[in-house]
Amino acid sequence: MPIFEFVCSQCGNEFEKLVLGSNRKVLCPECSSTDVEKKMSVCAFKTGSNFVGTGKKAANSCSGCTSTKCSSCGS
């Protein structure tokens, strides 16, 4: 899915937006300005205990959970 990160030049708000098509105007959700800039984003996905594309290891447990294995999130 083409979800991009933006920063508004008017109010400084940082936000994410699903953008379909290359000519769509993006509005800041805070001030409705169209003066927004696309931020550089990192693409990564989790495989096993690694996040591919970031060089980071996944945590051993879910956030807010004390279990080291969880069937609901796959950690």
Distances (CA, A) of 63 to 26, 38, 50, 54, 75: 32, 29, 16, 19, 10
State the CATH number of the domain containing residue 49. Answer: 2.20.28
pTM: 0.52
pLDDT tens per residue, range 33-70: 999 999 976 666 666 666 565 444 444 445 555 555 55
- Number of Cβ within 10 Å of residue 28's Cβ equals 21
Number of folded domains that form the chain: 1
Beta strands in 9-48 (DSSP E): 14-18, 36-38, 45-47
Which among 33, 35, 26 has a CA at the least distance from the CA of 16? Answer: 26
63 located within any domain: no
Q: Residue 50 burial by CB count (10 A; 0-12/13-18/19+): exposed, middle or buried?
A: middle
66 located within any domain: no
Residue range(s) defining the domain that contains residue 22: 3-57
